Structure 1
Amino acid sequence: MDNLMMEDTIQEVYDRLEKNNFSTLKRPGKPMWDRPLIGFARGDDPYFEFLKQHIGSFHWSPKEAFQLKYPESILQSSLSVVSMAFPQTMETKAAQARETTVPAREWIVSRGEWEPLMKEFNGKLTKRLEDLGIRSVSIDLLPEFSTVRTSHLGIASKWSHRHIAYISGLGTFGLSEGLITEKGKAVRFTSLIVEGNLNPTERAYLSPYEWCLFYKDGSCGACMRRCPTNAIAQEGHDKDLCDAYEEFFGENLWPQDIERGDYILGCGLCQAGVPCQHGRP
């Protein structure tokens, strides 16, 4: 399989998703997420070893993640990584940009229903690849996928979808730690490891913060002003303050007409109403 065939397969699966709609808000014809951006990386890209040093030894290499499903011996160089960035819709971003203290209802639902959507998407994608004779592993479907509390980074993931997107040429980080892509910062990511050699996407940047105006020349800082709990400062993003606000919102400000269920809350006010909400500024 080449890159184009992989991209076509991903888009075909996206087009047939049953859960990608705002039925919860009584808008079944409206998609929650736009078509994904797609980037590729070699399984033996040196950046994967850097993540083990920067994040922690617990962060999986592509080979380690692949062997959780297929434990037999395999060379890291025979694997490729596919990163997919799903942008929020223009309608959701517009609604979110109007809010100043709590996330928009569209944002609450699209974030809260992300995990079930990714279960459907990745399940159908890996099955389609299997039918084509291609072994693949979806990170989001691995039972072992979880987070770890670290002394230097706070909560960290065993596989950082955002860092993998950076490695795969999809964008660079901003002050709020979100990844700024060609479709903006209001995106969520998923990752796939496939057996086979796909051509890596060229990284159109030299440093991890290159597309952030604050880090580029100090001309921005909109995400700091958008944060309702001052969790973003010139020194960076305070995850604990961010998590505490989201917990407070969930307990005290949750919309009565949206059933919470198993929703995971994401505030995301820093991702809309900012220069990088729609694309690279």
Structure 2
Amino acid sequence: MDYQELANKIKIWAKELGFDKVGITDVDLSKHEKELQRWLDAGYHGDMDWMARHGMMRARPDELLPGTIRVISARMHYLPVNAEFASTLNNPELGYISRYAVGRDYHKVVRNQLKKLGNKILAEVNELQFRPFVDSAPILERPLAEKAGLGWRGKHSLLLDKDVGSWFFLGELLVDIPLPTDSPGTEQCGSCKACITSCPTNAILSEGIIDSRKCISYLTIEYSGVIPEEYRKAMGNRIYGCDDCQLVCPWNRNAPLTRQNDFERRPVFNYPELITLFSWDEHTFLKNLEGSPIRRIGYEQWLRNISIAMGNAPFSTKIVKALKAKKGFSSLLDVHIDWALKQHEGKNHTQSRQHARLIRIIEKGIPRDA
């Protein structure tokens, strides 16, 4: 078997299956084990217990699939047409959803294509043990992708490529054949700290070190409890995930759009008004988000996130009425609704004072004989 020729074929097949680039690496991630353990020991994984539960298996792909000696790392761009970043973030009456989640759940899309790639390789070599992963197992996908030459890990911990930025999904295909490996990516962030300084909650502690407990993506997606008050205003209108660290990254200025229709924005997320999203009952939530990654956070957490955004929105009697209408749904939601209502009480008081002051100014300026 000419494994170099096979590797070349794999990269061609991957492009045909919708991947934008693939690389091949060995399974040695031993140099990342101490770094991972320090991160876990510091508690930066928050409530994501599964990260600690699997321990060092995350750095040992061959423990996930015994016999694995190579990892085929693949990426697929997901930036949709008309992403509308600024118009959504700058309108506090709309709900901002991380751009990876406005379309179909990427886990299924990417995994299905990786499985097809594995079957193509199997047909070529006749005997192959393979297994695809897309956030579905404890594996350090970014260090693997970096070793496979797909880019380098930026200071925000995401993978970056100087030609395409970071708007892409990663997936891995573990195989037991000795394919030639690619050269690793090299760091090119230099002195830039845009992602660190732009993080709304200061979750990026240092280069590549993220405290998940402060991260808006973690808080709105992974965390199911009461969101600490200190982060609620900083969340703004972000109701599912956060893209700020990617939005300010200079390498993303010329990021390509996705070739996958599955990742385009679904109609319900065209200028999604908070009050409309909050009005969905659970049946509507499940129906409108069928096939969406957002579904996994559940209806209660969805309402929790939106209630915080509504608390950060300008004063509106409609918003106040909508919030009060959901009171009593659950004790968790009530905590956040009460906070949101308190924000609007303050805004209403300030608005009333400003209105009264304006009236006084107008009255003083009206001539007596008018």
Normalising by structure 2, what TM-score? 0.49
Structure 1 or 2: more helix by fraction: 2
Residue of structure 2 in register with 1:19 after alignment: none
Amino acid at match of 1:84: A
Residue of structure 2 in register with 1:150 after alignment: none
Measured at CA, do residues 203 and 87 of structure 1 come closer, stay the same or move farther in structure 2, by a change above 3 Å?
Answer: same
Q: Which runs of 5+ in 1 are unaligned?
A: 15-34, 68-73, 146-157, 256-264
In 1, the alpha carbon distance for the partners of 2:252 and 2:62 equals 34
Match runs of 1:130-145 below 5 Å: 130-132=122-124, 133=126, 134-140=128-134, 145=137
Match runs of 1:1-281 below 5 Å: 1=3, 2-14=6-18, 35-43=19-27, 47-56=28-37, 57-67=56-66, 74=67, 79-89=69-79, 91=81, 94-96=83-85, 99-100=88-89, 103-104=96-97, 106-110=99-103, 113-132=105-124, 133=126, 134-140=128-134, 145=137, 158-182=138-162, 183-205=164-186, 210-212=187-189, 216-217=190-191, 220-234=192-206, 236-242=209-215, 243-246=218-221, 265-278=240-253
- How big is the shift at 1:168? 1.1
- How big is the shift at 1:164? 0.7
Amino acid at match of 2:84: A
Measured at CA, do residues 165 and 108 of structure 1 come closer, stay the same or move farther in structure 2, by a change above 3 Å?
Answer: same
In 2, the alpha carbon distance for the partners of 1:141 and 1:100 equals 27
- Find runs of 4+ consecutive structure 1 residues off by over 4 angstroms: 233-236, 245-249, 252-255
Measured at CA, do residues 253 and 140 of structure 1 come closer, stay the same or move farther in structure 2, by a change above 3 Å?
Answer: same
Measured at CA, do residues 103 and 271 of structure 1 come closer, stay the same or move farther in structure 2, by a change above 3 Å?
Answer: farther
Amino acid at match of 1:202: S
Residue pair 2:23, 2:148 contacting (<8 A) in 1 also: yes
Amino acid at match of 2:153: F
Measured at CA, do residues 97 and 159 of structure 1 come closer, stay the same or move farther in structure 2, by a change above 3 Å?
Answer: farther
Aligned-residue CA RMSD in angstroms? 3.3
Measured at CA, do residues 227 and 100 of structure 1 come closer, stay the same or move farther in structure 2, by a change above 3 Å?
Answer: farther
- How big is the shift at 1:160? 1.3
Higher relative contact order (CA 8 A, sep 6+): 1
Measured at CA, do residues 5 and 175 of structure 1 come closer, stay the same or move farther in structure 2, by a change above 3 Å?
Answer: same
Measured at CA, do residues 87 and 135 of structure 1 come closer, stay the same or move farther in structure 2, by a change above 3 Å?
Answer: same
Amino acid at match of 2:188: W
Amino acid at match of 1:239: S
Q: Which runs of 5+ in 2 are unaligned?
A: 38-55, 256-370
Normalising by structure 1, what TM-score? 0.63
In 1, the alpha carbon distance for the partners of 2:253 and 2:73 equals 19
Residue pair 1:172, 1:179 contacting (<8 A) in 2 also: yes
Structure 1 or 2: more strand by fraction: 1
Per-residue CA deviations over 1:57-82 (Å, capped at 9, x if unaligned) read: 23242322222xxxxxx4x6xx2211
In 1, the alpha carbon distance for the partners of 2:195 and 2:88 equals 13
Per-residue CA deviations over 1:6-37 (Å, capped at 9, x if unaligned) read: 111212222xxxxxxxxxxxxxxxxxxxx422
- How big is the shift at 1:179? 1.4
Higher gyration radius (CA) = 2
- How big is the shift at 1:274? 2.2
Measured at CA, do residues 228 and 118 of structure 1 come closer, stay the same or move farther in structure 2, by a change above 3 Å?
Answer: same
- How big is the shift at 1:240? 0.9
In 1, the alpha carbon distance for the partners of 2:202 and 2:87 equals 18
Residue pair 1:103, 1:268 contacting (<8 A) in 2 also: no
Per-residue CA deviations over 1:115-163 (Å, capped at 9, x if unaligned) read: 2212322332233333332332212396xx2xxxxxxxxxxxx201111
Amino acid at match of 1:275: P
Measured at CA, do residues 105 and 237 of structure 1 come closer, stay the same or move farther in structure 2, by a change above 3 Å?
Answer: closer
State the identity as a percent: 19
